[in-house]
Amino acid sequence: MNRSPRTPAPSTPGGIERRPVPPNPRAPWRAGSWSVIVIVLVILHLLAFQATDFRPEALASGAQGMAKFLGEAFPPNLSPAVIGAGISGALTTLWIGLLGTTLSIPFALLLAVLGARTTSPHPVVYQVSRAILSFFRAVPDIVFALIFVTAVGLGPFAGVLALICHNTGVMGKLWSEAMEDVDPGPEQALRTAGAGRFQIVANATVPGVMPQLTGLLLYRFDVNVRSSLVLGLVGAGGIGLLINKSIKTFQFDTMLTYLIIVLVLIILVDLASAWIRRRLA
């Protein structure tokens, strides 16, 4: 049986055989999938616009009211009494954010160790810890503040308790994920040497993720200072409470003064956090 001779594939001058690149069979599927994703996103956005009554023309028609509001706010009230009250409230807001962050560390660290697959002693403990973290993370801090205000009354103590609960859930989840991604080498070495679970966590897991834990903690401190401002709007103390009172009494120039103080506070917190990160790097 005669067979036609195969045509040799072209080769480069160096003798390397050149073959054609095979077509990618998944390319049409990817293009079609992207089209479906875009269509679905467009539909979802149309539904969201309708559900939220998103009307840019309403904002344009209300420009006159906004101009009147800004006109009553400028110039800000720079009387010593207002500035003194604003600085005192801003410091209270800072203390709420600080305590809400630092006092949640033991609870977040414990739940992070129990909620990480690499350090949890049992699957049931892992699931329970994850459920607790999910609950604390799912309930907004302002809801916790409303609950604690009814329990301990108005004031910054309710704000601290609210931030402890919510921050425990957020930091615990972030820390547990950092522990799951840690290099397993030191843990295996200690386990081979006969170290117990607590010794492995204390001498290998936590030191291995300490830079990540510190960075996440500083980030959460920034967030908690801003959150404590909002908590003041529901009676949890701080400068947010002063802003709420000035709005209700139509003292918009005083409100603007408090907002300027808040801006200065946030800038100082950001600068301090950046300085600490550079020192720890």
Residue 39: alpha-carbon gap to chain centroid: 30
Q: pLDDT by residue (tens digit) across 110-125?
A: 999 998 888 888 899 9
Reported as a pLDDT band with limits 50, 70 and 90, residue 188 is: confident
Co-location of 116 and 190 in the same domain: yes
Reported as a pLDDT band with limits 50, 70 and 90, residue 85 is: very high
- The three-point CA angle 168-212-112 to 5° equals 35
Co-location of 89 and 218 in the same domain: yes
DSSP per position, 139-181: S-HHHHHHHHHHHH-SSHHHHHHHHHHHHHHHHHHHHHHHHHT
The verdict on residue 151 lying in a domain is yes
Co-location of 204 and 245 in the same domain: yes
Co-location of 48 and 104 in the same domain: no
The verdict on residue 243 lying in a domain is yes
The verdict on residue 158 lying in a domain is yes
Co-location of 45 and 88 in the same domain: no
Predicted structure pTM score: 0.77
Co-location of 103 and 161 in the same domain: yes
Predicted confidence (pLDDT) at residue 264 exceeds the cutoff of 90? yes
Rounded CA-CA distance 109/130 in Å is 13
Co-location of 105 and 209 in the same domain: yes
Co-location of 148 and 42 in the same domain: no
Q: pLDDT by residue (tens digit) across 23-54?
A: 555 555 566 678 888 899 999 999 998 898 88
The verdict on residue 97 lying in a domain is yes
The verdict on residue 63 lying in a domain is no
Co-location of 248 and 111 in the same domain: yes
Q: Residue 99 belongs to a domain with what CATH number?
A: 1.10.3720.10
Co-location of 226 and 192 in the same domain: yes
Range 3-9, long-range pairs (CB < 8 A, 24+ positions): none
Number of domains observed in the structure of the chain: 2
The verdict on residue 34 lying in a domain is yes
Co-location of 234 and 145 in the same domain: yes
The verdict on residue 4 lying in a domain is no
Q: pLDDT by residue (tens digit) across 128-161?
A: 999 999 999 999 989 999 999 888 888 899 999 9
Where in the sequence is the domain holding 42, given as residue range(s)?
28-57
The verdict on residue 16 lying in a domain is no
Co-location of 215 and 254 in the same domain: yes
